[in-house]
Structures are given as C-alpha cells and as structure tokens.
Amino acid sequence: MKNILLPPGTLLFLAAGTLWCPAQQVPVQERQLDNGLRVLLVERHDEPSVSGGWVAHVGSANERPGITGMAHLFEHMMFKGTRTIGTRDYQRDQAVIQRQEEVRSAIREEEAKLRAAWRRGEIDDLQNPDHKPPPLRALEREFDALVAEQRELLVKNEFDRIYTTGGASGMNAFTSTDLTGYFITVPANKLELWAWMESERLLHPVFREFYSERDVVFEERRMRTESTPLGRFDEAFDSMIWTSHPYQWPVGGWPSDIAAISKAEADTFFATYYAPQNITLVLVGDFEADAAMRMIQRYFGRIPRGPRAAPDLVTSEMPQLAERRMNAQAETNPRLSIAWHTVPFGHKDSYALNILSQILATRTGRLYKGLVLGPEVATEVEAAPDSRKWAGTFVISAEVREPHTPHEVEQAINAELERLKREPVPPDELQKVKNNFAAYEYRRLTSNMSILIQLIFYDGLGDWREINTAGAKHQAVTAEQIQAVAARYFTAENRNVATYTRKTTEAQPNPSPGS
C-alpha cells in the first residue's frame, strides 16, 4: 500500500462524503557522496531520537540458481561484527576462517562425489549420514573442531550490546524479493555511534560463523516453511505463478542451495551488491541536516566505490497464455487462493489496483459481504495487490466454510469480479474507500521509525518520492479506471488457482478377534 504523510495535528475534514487532504510533503533532503552512496534526510524535532537505517538494493530476485537464499543469509551475516567488534583475537580469528575455507573446499569435493553416486542410483538419500565415506567424515570432524575454536574467540552479540549500552533500541533487518533493509533508533546524541557502527560493518565486515549461520538460516526455513501446514505449498504455488522470473524461488532460498553456498560466493555477492553505489542511507529524527552530512561524509566516505555497478535484472516474466491450477491436500481447512499477474511498483495501473483491493477487502468490503456475511460460503477472505520492483500480482484468498466447497467460493469471487467489470463503483462507495485509504496512510507515518521504513521500501522498490506523490494518485483514481484494470488483469488466461482440501488419513482396518 502506498503512503503519504500529513504533519502531526492535521485534521481530516469530512464534508458531504469527501475527504479534505492538503497537499503536504515529507521534507526529504537527498544528498550523495562521491563514492555513489545516496542519503535521504528527514528532520523531525518532536523527540530527541533518530531512526537510522539503510537499504541495499538487492533481494532474492538478484540471485541465481545455485545461490538462492544468499540475500537473506547476508541479512544474518551483517550482524557478525567487524575487525574490532565480535572477536577477542582478530589475527587468530582470520587464521581459523582461512583454514575453515580450506576444509570446506575439500568437503565440497567429497559432496560432489556423493551427488554423482546418487545420480547413478548407487545411494538413495543424499541426507543419510550412513552414506558418507570416511574421508568426508574426517573432514567434518576437523571442521567441527575449527568451529569450536572460533567460538572461543567470539564475543557473542557484541554488535547489539554496543548499541543497547548507548541507549539504542529496535535494531532489526528484513529481506524481500527486491531489497534488504537495516534499521535502528538511537538517542539524538548517539548519531555518531550509529555512523561509526554502520560504516564499519560495510567497510570492515567479518563473516564469522558463516557456515554455522548458514545452518541457522536452514533451520529458520524449516520452522517457517517446512513445519507449517501450507509453507511448502505456498512455495510451489509461487513457482507455478512465476515461470521465467526470479520471483519463482523463495526469499529464504531452496534447501539444496542454502546447504551449498560457499563463503567465496558470499564474498563476491557482497562486493557486488553491498558497494556504496548500491546503498541508500536514511535518517529520520532530531538532527541538523548539514551537520549530519558532515558526519556521514567522515565515516561513510571512507568506503571505496565498488569496481562495477550491480547488474540490472533483465529476465522478464513471459505473458501467461492459459489458466494454471494446483490442487493440493493439506493439513488445514479447505482454502482457495487465486493470483493474477499485474504490474510493478509505480506503474500507472498500480494505484487503481490498490483502491480496488480496498473495495474488495476489509470487513466492509464486497468480498466479505458477498462471501462471509451473505451466502456464508467462506469464513474469511482477503484481497491484496503485490506490486514489486520488477513485476506484480493481485491475490485473493479465502477459507471455505464447510460443507461448502472451494469451487463454490471461486464462483462467488468470480461473480464479484465480473460485477466490478460490468458496473462502475458508486461514488459514495469509492469516496469512502479513498477516505479510509488516506486516513490509514496518515496513521502509518506519524513516527520516525514508520517514516524510515516507508522510505526504505519506496527507495528499494524504485523511487522514494512516492511517499509524497502516491497519495494524490490514489485520490485521483476514477470508477472507470477501476473497471478498466479489472477487465485488463482479471481474465481467465491470466489466472492461477490453488485449491486446498483437508488431508485425510486412511482408516486402518480393525484387528480381527484373536489376532
């Protein structure tokens, strides 16, 4: 959803069903260092704190088969410290890391032999430890000893401890298909601490516990995806929707890739995508812009420009020619998800699709009234656009109210969409949605951190200026435009459908008497 900012205290006046919304701007100052690093500054002197962060313009879409999950892995690795943070003995630490790489290289050679044996049918399960040959077992024992030695050198969570000791809070990060964001809030008098800490982990990062953290990421995937009723099915559905685009693999990566990523590949990835010309800093809060820029120049100006620009993503999704369906049995209530290909962030049709989603969704929307309250074929229903950097979808999902079927729910959804194509949205319904939309946008941008997160997302997706321009574009959407996008994108050949029915366990025969 796109957002605008109104200054604290601005009133939204409703008169005759219309929303009065003055044309206000978030006062963003954009600067740039000689090394290509871009900086967005928003002065807000409401409280003595600064929310600071940065966005690396890289997500899972920038990966390739073989290293899927790399962007998410880096989200973890960027908290492992620097030459001076996170270790008791940097020189010995480096020696251990070097030996770990030598052993891991030998392990990869042995694992390649195992995969070859599996392809020949000589072993039936690559994960079965009984298939590991003695040389591989010996290498793994040596590597485990090196991991144990490194742990003796580590100062765990020192990066976080330094920040919290200085009064900082809310340190976190996230990875999406298109960007990786890092953020924290510090007291206004600790802005220099932020500048030193963040520039150090870009200038002098040390990827300690690389392979151990890779296992942590693997376990995170297991918990979030493989141990949930629909996790793996959602991955399969996404891979069906995206046939040629890199959005087809999950942000967390494929299991086989996560287990095979090497530190050498990670080093190359970092040099390409974490170079200053591929990063934007964002500061929102109690500071003076020129003084903040002098500090940023002092610390971030030390980082050398990367040797080459990050490659542009050139693989596009092929136009969908026919409806695709996935029928699955899962340990869940019957459900239905429908996805249509739409448009990327900033596309002229994205604003009408956003408004359309609010006409359909929410407790007062058409889908809730038409599926949950009316014929009661569903217990819940959602509708949401997803305009990413390179492409987009629109997804409607519902939980079926038994004894109704997913087919009945799908028919009800299609009926509401056909109504949108056939009949213009009445003015009062459209204005009500726009009013709620503007109020929601305002509520999301009333603190330093919320403004920071919005700027990180907008800049990562392509243009931070949307924070100031998207609101007016949404308010300008007409009923005719909503009809047009509904007709353009909600077509049968552009539709992807996932149907989930409850997985049943076959009844076991009762034992015969005397058995």
pLDDT reported for residue 216: 86
pLDDT reported for residue 171: 96
Burial of 405 (0-12, 13-18, 19+ CB in 10 A): middle
Cβ pair 162, 197 in contact under 8 A: yes
Q: What is the DSSP string of 333-368?
A: S-EEEEEEE---TT-TTHHHHHHHHHHHSSTTSHHI
Is 8 among the domain residues?
no
Q: In terms of domains, do 131 and 249 share one?
A: no
Residue 176: CA atoms inside 13 Å, Cβ hemisphere, count? 17
- Report the CATH number that the domain containing residue 466 is assigned in CATH: 3.30.830.10
Cβ pair 64, 57 in contact under 8 A: no
Cβ pair 242, 317 in contact under 8 A: yes
Cβ pair 365, 378 in contact under 8 A: no
Q: In terms of domains, do 273 and 291 share one?
A: yes
Distance CA 81, CA 202 (A): 10
Three-state secondary structure call for residue 504: coil
Is 22 among the domain residues?
no
Q: Which of 98, 125, 153 is the last residue of a domain?
A: 153
Q: Which of 153, 174, 193 is the last residue of a domain?
A: 153
Q: In terms of domains, do 417 and 480 share one?
A: yes
Sequence-ordered list of residues with C-beta below 8 angstroms from that of 93, at least 6 positions apart, any chain = 87, 150, 153, 206, 208
Residue 106: CA atoms inside 13 Å, Cβ hemisphere, count? 15
Q: In terms of domains, do 230 and 285 share one?
A: yes
pLDDT reported for residue 24: 65
Cβ pair 201, 86 in contact under 8 A: no
pLDDT reported for residue 14: 29
Q: Which domain holds residue 498?
A: 324-502
pLDDT reported for residue 469: 93
Residue tagged 């962030």 (tokens): 345
- Residues present in the chain in total: 515
First to last CA, the chain: 64
Q: In terms of domains, do 268 and 176 share one?
A: yes
Distance CA 284, CA 42 (A): 5
Alpha helices in 85-190 (DSSP H): 90-119, 134-153, 158-165
Q: In terms of domains, do 71 and 137 share one?
A: no
Is 512 among the domain residues?
no
Q: In terms of domains, do 67 and 102 share one?
A: no
Is 69 among the domain residues?
yes
pLDDT, tens digit, 9 for 90 and up, residues 459-497: 999 999 999 999 999 999 999 999 999 999 999 999 999
Is 445 among the domain residues?
yes
pLDDT reported for residue 411: 97
pLDDT reported for residue 7: 30
With a cut of 70, list the residues of the chain below it in pLDDT.
Answer: 1-24, 505-515
Tally of structural domains, the chain? 3
pLDDT, tens digit, 9 for 90 and up, residues 181-212: 999 999 999 999 999 999 999 999 999 988 88
DSSP state of 496: E
Sequence-ordered list of residues with C-beta below 8 angstroms from that of 348, at least 6 positions apart, any chain = none
Q: In terms of domains, do 167 and 142 share one?
A: no
Distance CA 424, CA 214 (A): 52
Q: In terms of domains, do 368 and 274 share one?
A: no
Is 250 among the domain residues?
yes
pLDDT reported for residue 506: 53
Q: What is the pTM of this model?
A: 0.89
Residue tagged 């959407």 (tokens): 477
Is 266 among the domain residues?
yes
Distance CA 110, CA 113 (A): 5
